[in-house]
Structure 1
Amino acid sequence: MASVSEKTFGSRLLNAEKILTHLTAFTGYNPSTDEQSISNYETLIATIKVQNNEAASKIQAYSAAVDIRQKLFQKNSDSLNKIMTPIGAAIRSAFGKTSKEAADIASLVTKVRGISIKKDSKEPNADTVSQSERSYGSMTQTFADMIATLENYGASYNPANDIVKLPQLKDKLITLTSANTAVTVAYGALKEKRDDRSDLYKQLTDITQRIKDAVKSQYGNTSTEYVLIKGLKV
């Protein structure tokens, strides 16, 4: 389902195409500058269509990166959140429920689970992305601290469950870090495309208004030509 802003962009482009259709049907349309010409307007619309497609592709790439990260941190059966339980159990088994080691790991487990992760917005912006990055970054750093703590226990930390053995945990940390990086890169590419598209739509709005003024000047305020296009918002 398209977002509100995507629908708004689509509506503006559709109105621009309607104006272009009307312009081509007007007899003797003769703007004072090439910028307001039919050919220039047509080229700008075509360029915006390309930008829309590229922006849509970047949105899909960003959403895919976000989905992968959510699975790795929260949703998969071996996600970061879900391996906290067997890690804690392994420590209690090795050192005892009331040991300092058990308390230290329990504190880190609580910290990982206590970090608030808001659902990523379908319309990401700098603020929501920054908040999300901080949350996932905190979880990743806490997990790194946990691995360092487990390493300090030496041979005493030797769980039977392969998923929470140190080599696997180190591999998971690399995977989580890569997932964070992938989301950051995807958002950067998306923002760049959105900024480019926004600039083009500003041009479209400006040129459309100039075209309306040109039609109004050439054909008259009450002319059929002007009435056909004046209400089309771009």
Structure 2
Amino acid sequence: MWHNSCKYSNNSNLKNTYIMGTTSQASYAARLARAEQFYQFISTFQNFDPGMPELTPIGFQNLIVQLSSTQSEHTVKHHDYAEAAKERKKVFTTNPDSIAKTLTRVNAYVRARKGKDSQQYIDVNTLVKKIRGERPVTVTINASEETISRSEKSYGSQLQNFTDVITLLQRYNGDYAPTTEVGIPALQILQRQATSINNSTNSSYGAFKPKINERQKGFRNLNETANRIKEMVKSQYGSTSVEYNLIKGLNFSSNM
């Protein structure tokens, strides 16, 4: 069904022009761009009357505005969390005096002092292996709440095992007397530093987590609303109309 007022001509290139098919276009930013395009199309449809405020062009535009704000807030909170996580990684892994590198020296000292078959070395080495086995997953800006939660738990486990190493070494009394850099006082300072930065990172995650949920919920609503509008357009103008064909290929699902 053709309406002369529609601004777009029906031609064979129309579908290819407006359907975005690559995997990367399932990103949140790309879906927002498609939503704006969707709004521009439906706002030109003559006499489009869905009978429900949330399905009108203005209602859909309001949804876009809200989602754009949510996306911006998500970006800011993710940046704060990512910065905190980067500093934490230095203390746990990458700094010359990080937990990981310090424990290599601690382990070597206990083995040299007590022997590889000693209970002291076996106990310390077991904890060191646990710490090395905890490999936090990479967290990206679009990481799920489950992924980030696994990473946070991994750091918490490392910190607890490091604390247990210090507890064991304190029980060895004079049998643990290495250089100052890996002595008990230095390890305790490192443990307090790691605890502080881990708590700070957890706080940043606490502020970031609601934005993950809010964005996911918002984009699910965007997808559902767009699909309902498509059905309304098909009902009002027909499945072969230019109006319906303009919007039917604009998808907002994360599973594209």
| TM interval, short-chain normalised | 0.7 to 0.9
Task: Flag as ranges the 4+ runs of structure 1 deviating above 6 A.
Answer: none
Q: Which amino acid aligns with 2:42?
A: L
Separation (CA, whole Å) in 1 of partners of 2:40 and 2:111: 74
Q: Does 1:44 align with 2:63?
A: yes
CA offsets per residue over residues 33-91 of structure 1, 9 Å max, x none? 22212221111101101111222223333333332222212211001121124334555
Q: Does 1:118 align with 2:139?
A: no
Partner of 1:108: 124
User: If the length of structure 1 is used for normalisation, what is the TM-score?
Assistant: 0.79
Once the two structures are superposed, the pairs formed by residues 42-81 of structure 1 within 5 Å of their partners are 42-81=61-100
Q: Which one of 129, 139, 142 corresponds to residue 161 of structure 2? A: 142
When residues 219 and 232 of structure 1 are mapped into structure 2, their CA distance, relative to the original with a 3 A threshold, is same
When residues 6 and 134 of structure 1 are mapped into structure 2, their CA distance, relative to the original with a 3 A threshold, is farther
Q: Which amino acid aligns with 2:192?
A: I
Higher helix share: 1
Q: Which amino acid aligns with 1:59?
A: H
Q: Does 1:200 align with 2:212?
A: no
| Offset of residue 151 of structure 1 | 3.0
Separation (CA, whole Å) in 1 of partners of 2:234 and 2:136: 49
User: If the length of structure 2 is used for normalisation, what is the TM-score?
Assistant: 0.73
When residues 143 and 49 of structure 1 are mapped into structure 2, their CA distance, relative to the original with a 3 A threshold, is same
The 3-state SS of whatever aligns with 1:78 is coil
When residues 127 and 184 of structure 1 are mapped into structure 2, their CA distance, relative to the original with a 3 A threshold, is same
Q: Where in structure 2 are there 5+ consecutive unaligned residues?
A: 1-22
Percent of matched pairs sharing the same residue: 33
Number of aligned residues = 227
Q: Which amino acid aligns with 1:218?
A: Q
Q: Which one of 186, 192, 212 corresponds to residue 174 of structure 1? A: 192
CA RMSD of aligned residues (A): 3.0
